């Protein structure tokens, strides 16, 4: 794992943990994370996508979308001391656990025969196969779908989030 990927992993873990306590709404959670995830997905895309990888990608996008929607529905939006706040609580963490577990299940479903044959071929072959099929961009694609649906659902269901996002985008547009 390179230094940049490690830093991003730490940032994502901090963002997840921050959902346990009420916090001031910020642009990174609602806009920055989806943009970062899109960039990480795009930069990691292989030159050629075969049918199996496309099917796995569609499954991961669907999983991420469902988790992001569910997390947003469980997120509480409120004002505290005249500041817009959100708290995802334990459902947000459960969503991430479900996303990771789902990723593992999808990995096994789409690559079971390759995993078994590489396991039989030896540890080095097995390690190389696991690294190949658990590509960074596939993980980020799930985070992309999840964070986009999370932000869009909050945007659609909470006028105060909608106003916050518009204000943030206007501030950036100046």
Which range, 11-20, 64-73, 134-143, has the best average confidence (pLDDT)?
64-73
Report yes or no on 11 lying in a domain: no
Q: Tens digits of per-residue pLDDT, 12-41? A: 788 778 888 888 998 888 888 899 899 989
What integer is the mean pLDDT of 151-174?
91
Report yes or no on 94 lying in a domain: yes
- Per-residue confidence (pLDDT) for residue 133, from 0 to 100: 65
Least confident of 69-73, 79-83, 88-92, 120-124: 120-124
Percent of the chain, pLDDT > 90? 39
Report yes or no on 26 lying in a domain: no
Q: For the chain, how many structural domains are there in total? A: 1
- The structure tokens listed for 101 are 């577990």
- Per-residue confidence (pLDDT) for residue 131, from 0 to 100: 65
The pLDDT confidence band at residue 114, using thresholds 50, 70 and 90, is confident
Whether residue 154 has pLDDT greater than 80: yes
Q: Is the CB of residue 137 less than 8 Å from the CB of residue 49?
A: no
Whether residue 129 has pLDDT greater than 70: no
Report yes or no on 89 lying in a domain: yes
Report yes or no on 18 lying in a domain: no
> Would you say how long the chain is, in residues?
174
Report yes or no on 73 lying in a domain: yes
Model-level pTM? 0.84
| Close Cβ partners of 31 (under 8 Å, ≥ 6 residues apart) | 151, 165, 168, 169
Report yes or no on 34 lying in a domain: no
Helix (H, G, I), strand (E, B) or coil at 122: coil
Q: In terms of residue numbers, what domain contains 112?
A: 50-169
Helix (H, G, I), strand (E, B) or coil at 77: strand
Whether residue 155 has pLDDT greater than 70: yes
First to last CA, the chain: 37
Report yes or no on 22 lying in a domain: no
Q: Is the CB of residue 116 less than 8 Å from the CB of residue 109?
A: no
Whether residue 109 has pLDDT greater than 80: yes
């Amino acid at each position: 794992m390179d230094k940049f990927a490690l830093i991003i992993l730490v940032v994502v873990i901090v963002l997840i943990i921050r959902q346990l306590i009420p916090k001031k709404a910020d642009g990174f959670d609602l806009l920055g994370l989806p943009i970062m995830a899109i960039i990480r997905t795009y930069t990691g895309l292989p030159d050629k996508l075969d049918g199996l990888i496309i099917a796995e990608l569609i499954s991961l996008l669907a999983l991420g979308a469902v988790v992001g929607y569910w997390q947003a529905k469980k997120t509480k939006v409120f004002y505290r001391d005249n500041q817009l706040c959100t708290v995802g609580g334990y459902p947000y963490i459960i969503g991430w656990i479900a996303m990771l577990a789902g990723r593992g299940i999808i990995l096994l479903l789409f690559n079971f025969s390759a995993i078994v044959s590489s396991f039989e071929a030896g540890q080095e072959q097995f390690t190389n196969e696991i690294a190949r099929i658990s590509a960074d961009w596939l993980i980020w694609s799930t985070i992309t779908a999840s964070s986009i649906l999370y932000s869009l659902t909050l945007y659609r269901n909470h006028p105060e989030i909608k106003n916050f996002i518009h204000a943030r985008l206007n501030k950036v547009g100046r």
